[in-house]
Amino acid sequence: MSDARLLSALSSLSHVAKQLEIPPPAAPELDANCVKLNMNENPFPLPAIVREAAIAAFERHYLYPEDDNVGLREAAASAYGLSADQVIAGNGSSELLGLIYNAFLAPGDVVAMMSPGFSFNRKLAMLHEAQFLEIGWGKDHSLPTHQLLFGPARDAKFVVLANPNNPTGTFVPVADIERLVAQSDRLIVLDEAYVDFAPDNGLRLVNRYSNLLLLRTFSKSYATAGLRVGFGFGHPELIGRLRTMQNLFNMNVIGHAVGMSIIAHRAAFEENHRQIMLERERTSVALSKLGFTVLPSHANFLLARVPEGHDGAWWQATLQRQNVLVAFFPEKGLENFIRITIGTERQMDAFLSTVSRISSSSI
């Protein structure tokens, strides 16, 4: 394509598409010995019975997956005490979040998110030409119910909040969330991606309130980030509308099989969850001794304020040079923090050893 033709083609882009930044060139391939603690992935192997389900499903690779994810939805409904028409299955919960934006937003509408929160929401709002309103958490990361009901967020089509929250890892009592949902006549989207590492969950609210949509994913607590299995739970009318908007065959046969096997064998993951929570506590204590200030976390990661003298970007870059990857967020209020995924004992030993060496050399 000549430059003139390219310019002509690009001129046809919508003004929204023109505003999006082109992704950077592909990052270099990771070192095989890299300690990867930047994506909140669960590095533990799947139970043998779940791996067997994936291998068996591969034999059906030439077949389209089940339309409307019926079997997977029915399995989730039975496991979580709901009806199948209250369940939508997705290619990860991020697909379902995108469907919610498609269904509820028109250009100029307002959507509110608790902030700091999952940054993908900003992109979704931009794509829909919606106003994106970020509402700060209250004292000690409490839920600012009055502000959400009567402040600027009162005009939002829906409110997105994650519990436990990403990137902070903090947890709001479910009773506080119920008060918000009960007093609101708008849609509340409750993202529980990390809830299996927390002391409670909001599943019991689904049958009580028709204005609640609850999202779950198997990426974090069930180690399937690469297989993309997610769910949404809510009133049949809301769920039905979202299902009509899904892409045809939105999930693959391996994702279906693995999702159903995980549902049938959730108890097989309990030790995995326990190990992550133990490592989370051990890492938090160790980082505190090294001068970091660690937020209490109920997820599979920690958000830690770095010691004075350097900011979060410096720590991320310095750790990366030592073959350790952590997350950094440049947005206001997070400049002096890094987020660390909780991995295996060996990974966390390597991370803490590297942090200790850096701390000693930077004094």
Q: What is the pLDDT of residues 183-237, one digit of tens each?
A: 999 999 999 999 999 999 999 999 999 999 999 999 999 999 999 999 999 999 9
52 & 121 share domain: yes
Q: What is the pLDDT of residues 115-165, one digit of tens each?
A: 998 989 999 999 999 999 999 998 889 999 999 999 999 999 999 999 999
303 & 254 share domain: no
Rounded Cα–Cα distance for residues 149 and 183 (Å): 8
Rounded Cα–Cα distance for residues 134 and 116 (Å): 8
How high does pLDDT run on average in the chain?
Answer: 93
211 & 284 share domain: no
What's the mean pLDDT in 98-120? 94
Rounded Cα–Cα distance for residues 40 and 47 (Å): 19
* In a domain? residue 79: yes
- The last residue of one of the domains, among 245, 264, 283, is 264
* CATH code at position 282: 3.90.1150.10
207 & 344 share domain: no
Q: Global pTM?
A: 0.92
Q: Are 191 and 170 in contact (CB under 8 A)?
A: no
75 & 213 share domain: yes
319 & 200 share domain: no
Confidence of residue 1 (pLDDT cuts 50, 70, 90): very low
Q: Are 283 and 297 in contact (CB under 8 A)?
A: no
Examine the pLDDT at 15 and tell me if it is beyond 90.
Answer: no
41 & 77 share domain: no
Other C-beta atoms within 10 Å of 21: how many? 6
- The last residue of one of the domains, among 264, 287, 317, is 264
Q: What is the pLDDT of residues 33-87, one digit of tens each?
A: 899 999 999 999 999 999 999 999 999 999 999 999 999 999 999 999 999 999 9
* In a domain? residue 303: yes
* CATH code at position 57: 3.40.640.10
Q: What is the pLDDT of residues 69-83, one digit of tens each?
A: 999 999 999 999 999
Q: Among all chains, which residue has been given the structure tokens 């250009």? A: 107
Q: Which domain holds residue 350?
A: 27-45+270-358
- The last residue of one of the domains, among 219, 234, 264, is 264
106 & 197 share domain: yes
84 & 228 share domain: yes
* In a domain? residue 232: yes
Q: Which residues fall within 8 angstroms of residue 216, CB to CB, at 6 or more apart?
A: 93, 192, 193, 195, 230, 231, 232, 233
91 & 166 share domain: yes
Confidence of residue 362 (pLDDT cuts 50, 70, 90): low
Convert 170-191 into a string of H (helix), E (strand) and C (coil).
Answer: CCCCHHHHHHHHHHCCCEEEEE
* In a domain? residue 137: yes
221 & 92 share domain: yes
* In a domain? residue 12: no
Confidence of residue 303 (pLDDT cuts 50, 70, 90): very high
142 & 291 share domain: no
Share of the chain above pLDDT 90, in %: 86
* In a domain? residue 5: no
Specify the number of domains making up the chain: 2
* In a domain? residue 21: no
* In a domain? residue 363: no
Closest CA to 76 of 217, 247, 249: 217
